[in-house]
Amino acid sequence: GAGVSQSPSNKVTEKGKDVELRCDPISGHTALYWYRQRLGQGLEFLIYFQGNSAPDKSGLPSDRFSAERTGESVSTLTIQRTQQEDSAVYLCASSPPGREAGNEQFFGPGTRLTVL
């Protein structure tokens, strides 16, 4: 079946503009995660949605970052007033329900964001 998809694949924006990144998880996956990978660094957790529970936003680096998820489907990550340090690859992942199964995360191809 289809994997996790993300759009756009690449986004170039000017400093100070807002951007929206989209993630379509695998159908039936209840959990959805956003990570980012800055050059030369590992992936950093940003936010986690699990079903109808309140999202875990503990990884969002500032209040310029926000994310929403519609039910158990699409999620959008919004970055307001982008800064050059926001340049990174933003990865989305989803995982199926179940305690152990839910620990395997399936990743999308990522969105490469460049802030000029």
Binding site for other proteins (CB under 8 A): 3-4, 31, 33, 35, 40-45, 48, 50, 56, 58-59, 91, 93, 95, 100, 102-110
Single out the residue of 32, 5, 21, 25 nearest to residue 88, CA to CA.
Answer: 21
Q: Which amino acid would we find at residue 71?
A: G
Q: Considering beta carbons, is residue 68 or 104 the nearer one to other proteins?
A: 104
Shortest spacing between CB 31 and other proteins, in angstroms: 6
Residue 31 · residue 50 · CB < 8 Å: yes
Least CB distance to other proteins at residue 11 (A): 18
Residue with Cβ nearer other proteins (4 or 19): 4
Beta-strand pair 19-24/43-50: unpaired
Measuring CA to CA, which residue among 57, 115, 58, 68 is closest to residue 89? Answer: 115
Nearer residue to other proteins within complex by CB, 75 or 95? 95
What minimum distance in Å lies between the beta carbon of 6 and other proteins?
Answer: 10
